[in-house]
Chain A
């Protein structure tokens, strides 16, 4: 091998080779961290909600007719709307619920295991009716669903409660607490009870009211501002108000999305014209929520390609220069018996050495930069496997960028050596 001459030549041109070492090192550090950021964003985006997202529609009715001031009128309107929605061909299920997947938030409360002295845990909380579980496309893994009667009786009870002043004890708890049946997610059950067995057990809130688990649903994920994405509690209640209107989720049969969508507004307005109807697919809401991450992934990918391009260009430049400078030496070596392959090998080896030094430095830089990003900007820790892939990639890129100029060098005729001495 020819390490000796290569190393001696490099020692005489420290700056030129040093530059490529620095360039390769920086490139590895940046590429590894960009890929890391892409990976973090993509794994967030790939999370499954646990619902039939592709076939879900969000429908909101916001009334302006004064008739909607009356609670009874609104209740009737919601019941009628559910009928209308369910009769649109292609609709599989419809539910009156304030839960809206992928909106990037929702509502939350605090509860703890009933009778315990432990800290209150925050969880998402939404109203539901007997169709909500089916409409979302999830399923109960334990217990039972709400019935229509549950929704009716609990709605009346909650309204009575909200319309009266509650008597409270000195510590702020209600003198007469109530017990509410709820359905919770598997993850929340595990958080509350180590054995995950939630059925029949209860949690309590600050008022001292208790919530008894009658059903557990499978996977649930709804991104929230606070880290409570997988913890949810559904309680039976109707959802309508004069100011907020009434929210619905509609599940359509596969492939019927466009057809159903076209009809929703018309059908609902035909039933009652004193309001506006807004229809959005959950897919749209999801892509709106993920838009920033999607842009980030796109931009970082572009940066990686540009960077690899620029670095390859630098290596090509160095090799061209190195070949041009040594035309006469190459000629001499060829005249003394070196084969083309030997010349090619010389340049490839030289470049490999430079790239490897750069990569060694780059590995340290990559981890350093990542530590900075984690500490200052809430970044994700880098996966060492990623750095290894980056090293392999740059090795290949380096060799490819050297090969073509080096091959040109190898073609120098031995006769060149004899000219102009």
Chain B
């Protein structure tokens, strides 16, 4: 029956090509706009590491100025990063399965002079737990262990791209690369790793690619490495020199923990509060207790990594699709009602009202699917243009995709639009009295 319906529908569509093209392009435009903006927002909003949605937590401590809250859009939020001394303090906890403080620093890399002049590169300083915690994929070797952290040993992990630049893409594990004033032994080379957001550090916007070099955090003291990321300070300046900076109230470290269960998360939150209360005794943490343990999605939300405009545009684009659907009702009404004769003949030959109704719904959905397919193609083009734009402005291509959820959403929207737009015209058509149309 459905095939019979489809055949009739195809025939009917061929009969008035101009009208059919108008109807299909109406749906296609609506789907193209809606899908493009849904995919645009999805690129920011989709979970960057769904397998760890429950276990990863971003730590924030309110060690800020007693006189006023941390400056930002929301005065109830603690600083976005923590101080060095607090990182040392809370790392004493044994509750997390894995934990790492981290920051980025611009450091000079001195390659073989045959390859290039020395160049500056953003290097991430972190603990060995960083790699298993964020499921970072390796091509060669692995991350470093607790012994290398404790040393600290001069070991490095390179991204695939950096390995290609420095070692021609060969397995470079065991080779040496000079960074700043010392030689680092390569222990691992990453496979392609490009999460949609650089979620583990959202302090400078999310649309960034991961760094290309990773070295142990504890090298900070022997090498006196300063952060090149954001740092927020308050109050009177601290003691002079590098140690003075480390002991200051400046907030500049991102801190992540992996907690195996909700119970562990609760226990760890209690630990943070106890730590803050302990600090209060020394005159620090003078603000009301406000320590946060956020999941990745919560942190992405608080950090504003999904542009508000993306959400506004999604709303606008869905309304746009609604206009297209309303428009379609008018066109379909005209098309179907002009078909009284044909419907009359079918009714006279025994077709029920339900048959006629279904026949017209099938026709609407066929149109919707064809329109949806064209719309998908159009939005592919639009997303390609946006990727090109992003590449030119933010040195990041390949950010917007039509992945499976977006394609399903798009097909779903097309079918829904077809159904919503087609129901009333189909109902009107099946109610046509056959006798009136058979007279002539």
A-side residues, CB < 8 A to B, are: 15-16, 19-20, 22-23, 26-27, 29-30, 33-34, 37, 62, 64, 66, 110, 119-120, 122, 162-166, 168, 172-174, 206-207, 226, 243-244, 276, 287-288, 291-292, 295-296, 299-300, 303, 306-307, 310-311, 313-314, 317-318, 320-321, 324, 369, 372-373, 376-379, 420
Q: Which residue of A lies closest to B304 (CB)?
A: A378
- CB–CB A172/B33 < 8 A: no
Which B215-229 residues have C-beta < 8 A from chain A? 226
Chain A residues, CB < 8 A from B308: 377-378
Closest CB in chain B relative to A351 CB, distance in Å: 13
Q: How far is the CA of A77 from the CA of B307 in the complex (A)?
A: 43
Task: Report if A164-B240 is in contact (Cβ < 8 Å); known contacts: A64-B118, A276-B120.
Answer: yes
Q: How far is the CA of A369 from the CA of B393 in the complex (A)?
A: 31
Q: Which residue of B lies closest to A376 (CB)?
A: B311
Closest CB in chain B relative to A241 CB, distance in Å: 9
Chain A residues, CB < 8 A from B394: 288, 291
Q: How far is the CA of A165 from the CA of B110 in the complex (A)?
A: 36
Task: Report if A307-B323 is in contact (Cβ < 8 Å); known contacts: A243-B226, A313-B22.
Answer: yes
Chain A residues, CB < 8 A from B71: 122, 226
- CB–CB B319/A29 < 8 A: yes
Q: How far is the CA of A25 from the CA of B105 in the complex (A)?
A: 54
- CB–CB A30/B331 < 8 A: no
Which of B236, B240, B311, B323 lies in contact with A310, CB distance below 8 A? B323
- CB–CB A16/B333 < 8 A: yes
Which of A26, A37, A320, A373 lies in contact with B326, CB distance below 8 A? A26
- CB–CB A34/B316 < 8 A: yes
Chain B residues, CB < 8 A from A164: 240
| Secondary structure call for the A interface | helix
Chain B residues with a Cβ closer than 8 Å to the other chain, count: 55
Q: Which residue of A lies closest to B331 (CB)?
A: A317
B424 near A: Cβ within 8 Å? yes
Q: Which residue of B lies closest to A314 (CB)?
A: B327
B75 near A: Cβ within 8 Å? no
- CB–CB A30/B236 < 8 A: no
- CB–CB A306/B338 < 8 A: no
Chain A residues, CB < 8 A from B333: 15-16, 321
Which of A165, A276, A303 lies in contact with B117, CB distance below 8 A? A276
Q: Which residue of A lies closest to B22 (CB)?
A: A313
Q: Which residue of B lies closest to A298 (CB)?
A: B389
Closest CB in chain A relative to B383 CB, distance in Å: 12
Task: Report if A207-B307 is in contact (Cβ < 8 Å); known contacts: A311-B323, A317-B330.
Answer: no
Which of A26, A303, A317 lies in contact with B322, CB distance below 8 A? A26
Bitwise, B115-149 to A at CB < 8 A (1) or not (0) is: 00111100000000000000000000000000000
Closest CB in chain B relative to A269 CB, distance in Å: 10
- CB–CB A291/B393 < 8 A: yes
Closest CB in chain A relative to B274 CB, distance in Å: 26
Closest CB in chain B relative to A322 CB, distance in Å: 9
B169 near A: Cβ within 8 Å? no
Task: Report if A303-B316 is in contact (Cβ < 8 Å); known contacts: A226-B71, A313-B26, A318-B330.
Answer: yes
Which of A64, A119, A166 lies in contact with B108, CB distance below 8 A? A64
- CB–CB B316/A30 < 8 A: yes
Which of A110, A310, A372, A378 lies in contact with B327, CB distance below 8 A? A310
Q: How far is the CA of A172 from the CA of B248 in the complex (A)?
A: 13
Chain A residues, CB < 8 A from B350: none
- CB–CB B326/A23 < 8 A: yes
**27 A-B contacts (beta carbon < 8 Å):** A16-B333, A19-B326, A23-B330, A26-B319, A26-B323, A30-B316, A34-B316, A66-B181, A168-B236, A226-B72, A243-B226, A276-B117, A288-B394, A291-B394, A292-B309, A295-B389, A306-B29, A306-B33, A310-B29, A310-B320, A314-B331, A317-B22, A317-B327, A317-B334, A321-B330, A321-B334, A377-B308
Q: Which residue of A lies closest to B440 (CB)?
A: A420
Chain B residues, CB < 8 A from A299: 313
- CB–CB A23/B316 < 8 A: no
Q: How far is the CA of A173 from the CA of B181 in the complex (A)?
A: 38
- CB–CB A313/B236 < 8 A: no
Chain A residues, CB < 8 A from B312: 37, 373, 377, 379
Q: How far is the CA of A27 from the CA of B26 in the complex (A)?
A: 15
- CB–CB A20/B236 < 8 A: no
Q: How far is the CA of A373 from the CA of B316 in the complex (A)?
A: 10
Closest CB in chain A relative to B146 CB, distance in Å: 28
- CB–CB A174/B236 < 8 A: yes
Q: How far is the CA of A373 from the CA of B236 in the complex (A)?
A: 41
Q: Which residue of B lies closest to A316 (CB)?
A: B22
* Given A64-B118, A310-B327, 17 more pairs with CB closer than 8 A: A26-B322, A26-B326, A27-B323, A30-B323, A62-B120, A64-B120, A174-B236, A206-B235, A276-B118, A303-B33, A307-B320, A307-B323, A310-B324, A321-B333, A324-B338, A378-B308, A420-B440
Q: Which 9 A-B pairs have the closest CB atoms?
A: A321-B334, A291-B393, A314-B327, A64-B118, A172-B236, A377-B308, A23-B326, A64-B108, A207-B236
Closest CB in chain A relative to B220 CB, distance in Å: 13
- CB–CB B329/A291 < 8 A: no
Task: Report if A310-B329 is in contact (Cβ < 8 Å); known contacts: A295-B386, A320-B334, A377-B311.
Answer: no
Chain A residues, CB < 8 A from B181: 66
Chain B residues, CB < 8 A from A110: 234
Q: How far is the CA of A280 from the CA of B386 in the complex (A)?
A: 24
B317 near A: Cβ within 8 Å? yes
B106 near A: Cβ within 8 Å? yes
- CB–CB A165/B239 < 8 A: yes
Q: How far is the CA of A288 from the CA of B390 in the complex (A)?
A: 10
Task: Report if A162-B316 is in contact (Cβ < 8 Å); known contacts: A64-B108, A276-B117, A321-B334.
Answer: no
Closest CB in chain A relative to B78 CB, distance in Å: 16
B381 near A: Cβ within 8 Å? no
Q: How far is the CA of A308 from the CA of B22 in the complex (A)?
A: 15
Q: Which residue of A lies closest to B312 (CB)?
A: A377
Which B404-440 residues have C-beta < 8 A from chain A? 424, 440
B241 near A: Cβ within 8 Å? yes
B68 near A: Cβ within 8 Å? yes
Q: How far is the CA of A166 from the CA of B248 in the complex (A)?
A: 14
Q: Which of A122, A173, A321 has the most CB of B within 10 A?
A: A321
B237 near A: Cβ within 8 Å? yes
- CB–CB A33/B316 < 8 A: yes
Closest CB in chain B relative to A218 CB, distance in Å: 27
Task: Report if A23-B323 is in contact (Cβ < 8 Å); known contacts: A317-B330, A377-B312.
Answer: yes
- CB–CB A163/B236 < 8 A: no
Q: How far is the CA of A313 from the CA of B323 in the complex (A)?
A: 11
Q: How far is the CA of A23 from the CA of B237 in the complex (A)?
A: 62
Chain B residues, CB < 8 A from A288: 393-394
Which B190-234 residues have C-beta < 8 A from chain A? 226, 234
Which of B68, B307, B324, B330 lies in contact with A16, CB distance below 8 A? B330
Q: How far is the CA of A288 from the CA of B226 in the complex (A)?
A: 26
Q: How far is the CA of A179 from the CA of B440 in the complex (A)?
A: 103
Chain B residues, CB < 8 A from A173: 236
Q: How far is the CA of A324 from the CA of B335 in the complex (A)?
A: 11
Q: Which of B67, B307, B309, B334 has the most CB of A within 10 A?
A: B309
Q: How far is the CA of A110 from the CA of B234 in the complex (A)?
A: 8
